[in-house]
Homo-oligomer: A and B are copies of this chain.
Amino acid sequence: MVEELNITLIGTGTIGLSFAAFHLSNPQPCLVTVYDTRPDVSAYVQKHLPKFSAGPHEQFDTMNVKLASTLQEAVENAHIVQESGPEDLKIKKELWKTVEQFAPKDALLWSSTSGIPASQQSESMQDKTRLLVVHPYNPPHIMPLLELVPSPQTSESVIKRTEAFWRDRSRVPIHIKKEMTGFVANRLAFALLRESIHLVNEGVVSVAELDSIVESSMGPRWAVAGPFKSYHAGGGPAGLEGFFKNIGGTVQACWDDIGTPNLGDGWEEEVFRQAKEAYGTVNVGERDRITRRLLEVLKEEKENSRNRGL
């Protein structure tokens, strides 16, 4: 018999509610407890949580969410505590100090932060081995990636149990070995974003044209095979080495010519204007619907390949 997990989510912003929706709609049994300091938390959750459902074919009962009225009550029976609160080091340090007092000794403690490393968040904790960052790619009820970023103090067993939890739920947990600024996914995306800003700023393409380029090339390519795998394939039997042998000169020429716009350099007004003009307010529901379908198809096709031994 599988034990029903008690999952406590602290913070009911979009990340917290998206995680709640993920756990509630997952076939693995769990009890979701939510805690937030906002006074209208009950009405707020009842109103906003249903928006994270995939639609009529995927229902979850928001009544299954337990609201805790104190932090102690929220965590005292938890197997997992994930905080998705404000990006404020002082708040997070205080939070973990309290959580540590009341949560069971073997509860996993996770932070959804995109920027404050576990080594800083755990500074006031007695036992710093229990905490790590579990950074989702937004929104977590749809996107498979979780970046697991332990501090140097986080124990191996905590990392392994965290990995196992997400793998069991068909997600993609990746253990990041150093507490780099922005972790990995954002660093990569922002590197590409920076060159995108440079090219729009130089008048080479518009904001919408740049998006079309990515949507009709790298996007679908990298959804199937990441950059290294793609270029390794591009090099033929000689792999990545062959790729660099063939077009390393062009790669280096692009690197030598790469743009380095910074915030405050004056590109902002025109880039923001073009985005607004091209997209107005994006229909996120449609985007999410298409993304879900895409991920389903990818999963199905990759499983087909694996089953056929390819």
Contacts and interface: CB of A to CB of B under 8 A. Distances in A.
Q: How many copies does the complex hold?
A: 2
A283 B310 contact: yes
B211 A184 contact: no
Contacts of A274: 228
A261 to B, nearest CB: 8
A254 B190 contact: yes
Interface range, A side: 35 or more
Given A178-B202, A180-B257, A282 B227 contact: no
B204 A189 contact: no
B240 A193 contact: no
Contacts of A102: none
Interface in A175-216: 175-178, 180-182, 184-196, 199-200, 202-205, 207-216
Contacts of A212: 145, 172, 174, 226
A198 to B, nearest CB: 9
Given A172-B213, A241-B268, 12 more contacts: A182-B253, A182-B257, A184-B210, A187-B199, A188-B213, A189-B218, A190-B254, A196-B227, A208-B228, A211-B228, A218-B219, A233-B282
10 contacts: A178-B204, A180-B257, A185-B213, A188-B199, A196-B228, A211-B228, A214-B227, A220-B223, A229-B282, A294-B301
